[in-house]
A and B are shown apart, each in its own frame.
Chain A
Amino acid sequence: MSLPKFTYVAPASLDEAVTLAADLGDKCVFIAGGTDILVAMKDRVITPEWVIDLKGIPGMDELSYIPGEGLKVGALAKLRAIETSEIVLEKYLAVADAAHSMACRQIRAKGTMAGNLCNASPCADMTPILLALNASVKTFRKHPECGRTIPLQDFFIGLKKTALTRDEIVTQIEIPEPGPRECAAYVKHTFRKAMDIGIVGAAAWLKMDGETCVDCRIALGGAGPTAIRAYGAEALLVGQRLTGALIDEVGVRAAECCSPRRDVGPRRYHRVHPEYRKDMIRVFTVRSIRRALERRGI
């Protein structure tokens, strides 16, 4: 499996990168870690004439936490740096869990959170938890206005498609500060313990007042062409005292919210029937809520 021929460029600044991309249009692809892109290129799923490597752009690999604001994850921060960061483990344990659940050390040492989002796979592990935590994506482009902030729920517009324009680069992912009565969890269903892409993934974020849920977000991966928020399931929880029966009902509703696809593409052999996915959405939604509550100590 050789790589198709391409020209490699490693711009030294964001400005240079977007200028190049604006000129090249759909002949180019950006890479950060490149762990998804290079495989897609080997499979000839994409055959770009130019590969623009963003790794040389300084200052984009930082992880910073600003009290009251939250966590800012630089687009070049490695998944391994995220899952082992003390501040992430302390304040965003579910994010660390999701990063840790991906692939293996070798891949996590190269792959990035931003790359996982931009790849826009419906089963991407970072997506559900970041949706549940109400994250947003900060971008850079020349026009208009040197970039924008895109709420993550508006970021995915279709299977493997994002709202990014051709000459727009994700520079940072912003995750709001978790409040004192909030809890969150990400759980994923795989057939193997490691090195496996999730069949489904479920993330829950809950804001509690005693045993009553005052606000929540439930996000699902593997549930359709893009990761989704299960609004119908969330509506069942808000304002309610959480009981086992209610949580089970939320799982059923979450499964009704999703429309899993039939697998397409070169790797369909190891995937599953949409009906099975739907049922696993039910099971794993329940587990994500329970895990989040356990974390809070209920």
Chain B
Amino acid sequence: MRIIRMKLNDEQIEALVQENCTLLDFLRNQLGATGTKKGCEEGECGACTVLINGVPMNSCLMLAVEADGQEITTIEGIARNGELSPLQKAFIEKWGLQCGFCTPGMIMSATALLKENPSPTEFEIREAIAGNLCRCTGYAKIVEAISAAADAIKEA
């Protein structure tokens, strides 16, 4: 067991974790933050994507102890004061989700993309979410939603 400290969604936390616990299991099982989804557990599906210091990574391929000292953002930290982010709103408005399982990971990847590149082309959007699989295959609507969110952020 080890003590880790991290900033999770702007809140400083401290916890005792097993060394063989992934960041994903730590978030879901120990903190009850189940917004981050558990899909393949081997870095293929992207459902567990979180931001580490603003960079999207698979939390299933990261040990909780590796996250010690880092800033982590999960889907729970995307809405501000109860208000959904432009991306979240766009996913709803454009029907960028069907079963919704891939959505948290998609939102995390897309959030990082729009921060780095506020006007992505369709190709750039598709590339940014290449590591996020949607088993409902609703990619067209997801890409539309990300594109609409980019426009909404620029207009705001």
**Roughly how many angstroms separate A175 CA and B155 CA in the complex, as a whole number?**
45
Enumerate chain A residues within 8 angstroms of B93, measured Cβ to Cβ.
none
**Roughly how many angstroms separate A106 CA and B62 CA in the complex, as a whole number?**
11
Q: Is B19 within 8 A of A6, CB to CB? A: yes
B1-32 Cβ-contact flags toward A at 8 Å (1 or 0): 01000000000000000011110010000000
Query: Residue B74 at the A interface, CB < 8 A?
Result: no
Query: Residue B76 at the A interface, CB < 8 A?
Result: no
Interface of A is mostly: loop
**Roughly how many angstroms separate A3 CA and B23 CA in the complex, as a whole number?**
12
CB of A256 to closest CB in B, whole Å: 35
Query: Residue A62 at the B interface, CB < 8 A?
Result: no
Q: Is B46 within 8 A of A106, CB to CB? A: yes
Query: Residue A189 at the B interface, CB < 8 A?
Result: no
Enumerate chain A residues within 8 angstroms of B2, measured Cβ to Cβ.
8
Query: Given A5-B20, A39-B42, A106-B58, do A34 and B63 touch, yes or no (CB 8 Å)?
Result: yes
Q: Is A104 within 8 A of B66, CB to CB? A: no
Enumerate chain B residues within 8 angstroms of A103, measured Cβ to Cβ.
43, 131
Query: Residue A110 at the B interface, CB < 8 A?
Result: yes
Q: Which of B54-82 contact A (CB under 8 A)?
A: 55-58, 61-63, 65-66
CB of A48 to closest CB in B, whole Å: 11
Q: Look across to chain B and name the residue whose beta carbon is closest to the beta carbon of A34.
A: B61
Query: Residue B127 at the A interface, CB < 8 A?
Result: yes
- Measured as residues with beta carbon below 8 angstroms from the partner, the interface class of chain A is 20 to 34
Which of B58, B61, B127, B131: most chain A Cβ within 10 A? B61
Enumerate chain A residues within 8 angstroms of B62, measured Cβ to Cβ.
34, 110
Choice from A53, A107, A109 contacting B66 with Cβ under 8 Å: A53
Query: Residue A4 at the B interface, CB < 8 A?
Result: yes
**Roughly how many angstroms separate A30 CA and B43 CA in the complex, as a whole number?**
19
**Roughly how many angstroms separate A253 CA and B10 CA in the complex, as a whole number?**
59
* Interface residues contributed by chain B, number (CB under 8 Å): 29
**Roughly how many angstroms separate A16 CA and B141 CA in the complex, as a whole number?**
51
Query: Given A7-B19, A8-B19, A105-B128, do A35 and B43 touch, yes or no (CB 8 Å)?
Result: yes
Q: Which of A102-123 contact B (CB under 8 A)?
A: 103-107, 109-110
Query: Residue B152 at the A interface, CB < 8 A?
Result: no
**Roughly how many angstroms separate A110 CA and B53 CA in the complex, as a whole number?**
12
Q: Look across to chain A and name the residue whose beta carbon is closest to the beta carbon of B133.
A: A195
Query: Residue A55 at the B interface, CB < 8 A?
Result: yes
Q: Is A8 within 8 A of B58, CB to CB? A: no
Choice from A4, A7, A107 contacting B43 with Cβ under 8 Å: A107
**Roughly how many angstroms separate A103 CA and B20 CA in the complex, as a whole number?**
24
Q: Look across to chain A and name the residue whose beta carbon is closest to the beta carbon of B22.
A: A3
**Roughly how many angstroms separate A261 CA and B55 CA in the complex, as a whole number?**
37
CB of B25 to closest CB in A, whole Å: 8
Q: Is B43 within 8 A of A106, CB to CB? A: yes
**Roughly how many angstroms separate A7 CA and B19 CA in the complex, as a whole number?**
6
Choice from A5, A51, A106 contacting B56 with Cβ under 8 Å: A106
**Roughly how many angstroms separate A56 CA and B76 CA in the complex, as a whole number?**
29
Q: Is A105 within 8 A of B130, CB to CB? A: yes
Enumerate chain B residues within 8 angstroms of A51, measured Cβ to Cβ.
19, 63
CB of A26 to closest CB in B, whole Å: 19
Q: Is A109 within 8 A of B55, CB to CB? A: yes
Q: Is A42 within 8 A of B56, CB to CB? A: no
Q: Look across to chain A and name the residue whose beta carbon is closest to the beta carbon of B40.
A: A1
Q: Is B42 within 8 A of A106, CB to CB? A: no
Enumerate chain A residues within 8 angstroms of B151, measured Cβ to Cβ.
none
Query: Residue B144 at the A interface, CB < 8 A?
Result: no
Query: Residue B147 at the A interface, CB < 8 A?
Result: no
Query: Residue A194 at the B interface, CB < 8 A?
Result: yes
What are 13 pairs between A and B in contact, CB < 8 Å? A2-B25, A6-B20, A8-B2, A8-B19, A35-B58, A35-B61, A39-B43, A103-B43, A105-B128, A105-B131, A107-B61, A109-B56, A194-B130
B residues contacting A by CB (< 8 A) are 2, 19-22, 25, 41-44, 46, 49, 52, 55-58, 61-63, 65-66, 109, 127-128, 130-133
User: Contacts A39-B42, A42-B42, A109-B57 given; 14 further ones with Cβ under 8 A?
Assistant: A2-B25, A5-B19, A6-B19, A8-B65, A10-B65, A34-B62, A35-B58, A35-B61, A104-B130, A104-B132, A105-B127, A106-B56, A106-B58, A195-B44
